[in-house]
Amino acid sequence: MAGKAGGGKLAGLVQGAVMAATLDDIYTEVRAMLLGLFSCEVVRGYGNNVPLPKPPFVVMNILNETAAATNEHAYAVADETAAVSRQSEIQMQLDFYGEEAGQMAQKTVLLWRDFYACERLKSCQPLYADPARFMPLTNEEGEYEERWMTTVHLAYAPQAEHPQQFVNAFDLTLTQP
């Protein structure tokens, strides 16, 4: 599910952690999957003072990340590192704009639980998608714009690697009182 943490010693790091797969990776992979399905722009989030593209287009927003398990630990004594991970669920809202928005949303919902999506997402895996719903938008000119939206749910295992000291040998002297 999640990518592996980078190998090798984290020489020179006193504090800090190296993240394996990130939320940026998830945005990149979901965007690539959507671009493979539709010939339109796929953008991340809404930006202030940034006009929306001309329809058709898709807007992606991560809404929430929920821990689905407690932390897991893996240790690499030779590399002097420890990796901490946990299973999480991410909810991502997808807004589809344009005349074909409804069909695009339905196609995404259908393929989200199919092997098609599983094969294209590497740092996360699809769980399920909420039904697509029609949510028209009134633009700055007071005109209605075609918008359909869905929330897709995916499994994600964030992993952080950090330096870890280990005891390899110690001297023990017992004294009797």
Q: What is the pLDDT of residues 59-110, one digit of tens each?
A: 999 999 999 999 999 999 988 899 998 999 999 999 999 999 999 999 999 9
Q: Are 109 and 67 in contact (CB under 8 A)?
A: no
Read off the pTM: 0.78
pLDDT for the residue 13: 34
Query: Residue 8 has what pLDDT?
Result: 41
Question: Does 114 score more than 90 pLDDT?
Answer: yes
What pLDDT shows up at residue 167? 86
Query: For position 10, what pLDDT does the model report?
Result: 36
Token pair belonging to 115: 């092997």
CB atoms within 10 A of CB 58: 25
pLDDT 10s digits, 4-31:
334 443 333 334 455 567 899 999 999 9
Q: What is the DSSP string of 107-124?
A: HHHHHHTSHHHHHH-SSE
Please give the Cα distance from 145 to 156 (Å, whole number). 33
The H or E element containing residue 95 is strand 88-97
Q: How far apart are CA 27 and CA 104, in angstroms?
A: 18
Sign of the dihedral defined by the CA atoms of residues 6, 10, 11, 16, in that order: positive
**117-172 pLDDT tens trace:** 999 999 899 999 999 999 988 877 888 889 999 999 999 988 888 999 888 888 88
Can you tell me the distance from the alpha carbon of 86 to that of 128, in angstroms, rounded to the nearest whole number? Answer: 20
39, with CB counted inside 10 A (0-12, 13-18, 19+), is exposed
State the sign of the Cα–Cα–Cα–Cα dihedral 5, 6, 9, 14. negative
